[in-house]
Chains A and B, each alone.
Chain A
Amino acid sequence: MILQGWEAVFFWVFSIAAIFAGLLTVMARNAVHSALFLISSLLSVAALFVLLGAEFIAGVQILVYVGGVMVLFLFVIMLVNVGAEEQGRSEILNKPRQVAVSLGFCLLLVGGLLFAINTGYRGLQKRDEAKLSGSAEQRLLQDQTLARGATGTSRITTDTQKVGNSLYRFASLPFEIASILLLVAIIGSVMLARTLKQEAAVDDVDPEVLLAKVAEEADLAEN
């Protein structure tokens, strides 16, 4: 798998953008800025997916992550109070000793992962040398056989079709399990985010009785 020409340029642009946006996500003082940088990092990674020929996943990434999950994050940031952090009155990082240890751990991780990728990739290259030799030309030839888009300048890829085939042929049971997972997530988050009053209304208890009980329990916990 080798990118050529303009694809290589776009690879460097988007990968550097993804890494810098990721770094700024972690370092930004304001949580809203963090969320916006994370959105740009996710968009850059979606562009890398397009370069890799996974148009369907890129679309899903933008729709689900950027359109759904990040909006949820922004809502929660607005609901909770983060004023002290952005005005510089509060520390954004853990205690210095914890930070030093975790950064040391991350450096070790960098070294280990880069070493593993280097040696592993060399071995992989040696194994698949014959198969990979003409793959770029073959891919170009394959692209020539695809149907043209409406404007005539681009080709319609069959990526989504392939993913759908593979998903329903080999992974239909995990697909059903994923739907149950989403159902559990919906019910769980609704249950978790209820207020005391809503909880009382559902359980058919008088709110005052519940409040008194909660206060009693808090007293017990304190003593």
Chain B
Amino acid sequence: MPSLDQVQREFASAIFHASRPVPAGVGSNHGGAANKRFAVYRNNVVMSLTDVVAAFFPVVARLLGGDFFRATARAFILERPPASPVLTRYGAELPEFLSEFRPVTDLPYLPDVARLEWMQQRAYHAANARPLTRADLSHVEPDEVPRLCFLFHPSAQIQRSRFPVFSIWRTNTFDEDVKFIPAEAAGEAVLVSRVGLEVKALLLDPGFYTFFEALMAGVPLGEAAMEASREASAFDFQKALAALLDLGAVYGHGAS
């Protein structure tokens, strides 16, 4: 009699290789072939995980369209199946997979759209923390402000793309008539954060990405603002600080 390990090894392998026969010793009480019976397991695995990917990446699904999306999701699932039963974390590798998946090379912005959607998925489940408010900062002496360092909220993440990734995501998420966004339009940077129970995405003005990136690395406020101004002469410090606070992106501060 085959060992349990052997039974499960063959069963697992046959699930992911549709061309393989039903494992020996697996069948039907009624006799006859058990292909359609075994196919239930194959379908359950791929279909249920396709639903997970579609739920976490609705814009990727929409950009690819029904059958093309399902075929792409299937290829992803078979190549990079979940490693954990906690499926809220499944999909982290989709952006990288899409950047290497030949059938989607005509959509070069797709991996970055997937990255933006994954950031939102992570923000949704990130740890809770009370964000910093303007009142929290009111006691800071003006000459101490440049030396402030911020702790970022667990949900806060930034992305910079050479594609108009935010515009593509926004029109496909909110517009009844989806706008045409030329892929060669200027690249965009985005801040994602959770405000209360709601995940928000904000298109960043010039210099903001550099500013936030420096702050996230622990650079003090004054120095981060200078870096941002060097990159973008129009960098608006007050507006950038307001954006951070409005999106609840920071939850603590200290002096350098």
Partners in one complex: no
